[in-house]
Amino acid sequence: MFGHSENRNSPEPASAPPEPTAVSVKIVISGGFGVGKTTFIGAISEIEPLSTEAAMTEVSVGVDDPGPRTDKTTTTVAMDFGRITLDRSLVLYVFGTPGQERFEFLWDDLLDGALGGVILVDTERIEDCFPVLDYFEKHDTAFVVAVNRFPESTRFDIDEVREALGVNESVHVVECDARERESVKQVLVALLEQVLIHRLAAAS
C-alpha cells in the first residue's frame, strides 16, 4: 500500500514521511452514495488514495441509485483510505465508508478508535445520511456535517440543513466543495475543533 520502504518496521510512503514519533489519528468520512466521499479524500490525501471503487453492475441497479449524477459508474463497495500529515508529528488517516445502512457492519470497526467523522450531505438527497447520522449520535462520536455543493442541487441555508437533520447548535454544519483541497482542509479543521468541543463537554 505504501510502496517502497526503507525501514521494515515502519512502512514509509514515497513522499513526506511522517516522523517515527508522529501521533496518528483516524477519522472517518461518511455519507450517502455519490455524495463525494472518494472525491473528498482524493482532494486532500498525500498518498494515492486506496479506493475500493468497483464498477457498478446490473446487480446494483435500483440498489445504489446514482441519482442526478448519472456519469457515476463506480461505487465504493468497502472503503477509501488516505493520509494527511498535518505537520510531521501529526498524521491523519482518513477512511471513507459508505453511508448506506447495509454497510453498518463496517462502521463498528472503522470507528473503533476514531477521533470523529465527517458526514457529507447532498441537499438534493439529504435523507441519505440519516443512517450514519443516527449511528454517530448513538455512539456519541464527534462529527461535523459538510454540505457538498453540487451546482444542480437546491440551495438551502445552513440553518435549514441543520433543522432537516435535527442536529443541535453545537454541531458544526459547513459547506464544502469536495473537489477543492482548501475546502476539504477547512472541513477537517472544523472536525478537529468539534472533537475538542466534544471532549471538553464530556470532561465537564
Ligand X SMILES: Nc1nc2c(ncn2[C@@H]2O[C@H](COP(=O)(O)OP(=O)(O)O)[C@@H](O)[C@H]2O)c(=O)[nH]1
Interacting residues with ligand X (CB under 6 A): 33-39, 69, 71-72, 76, 148-151, 177-179
Chain-centroid distance, C-alpha 177 = 13
Q: Which residues of 188-201 are buried (b: 16+ CB within 10 A; e: fewer)?
A: bebbbebbeebeee
Q: Which does 185 bind (CB under 5 to 8 A by kind): ligand X, Mg ion, none?
A: none
How many CB atoms are closer than 10 A to CB 169? Answer: 8
What is the crossing angle of helices 181-203 and 37-44, to 10°? 100
Chain-centroid distance, C-alpha 203 = 26
| Of positions 76, 100, 148, 183, contacts Mg ion by CB under 5 A | 76
Minimum CB separation of residue 201 from Mg ion in Å reads 32
Minimum CB separation of residue 10 from Mg ion in Å reads 29
Q: Which does 72 bind (CB under 5 to 8 A by kind): Mg ion, ligand X, none?
A: ligand X
Half-sphere exposure of 66 (CA within 13 A, CB side): 14
Q: Which does 91 bind (CB under 5 to 8 A by kind): Mg ion, ligand X, none?
A: none
Asked if 38 touches Mg ion (CB under 5 A), the answer is yes
Asked if 39 touches Mg ion (CB under 5 A), the answer is no
Closer residue to ligand X in complex, CB, 45/76: 76
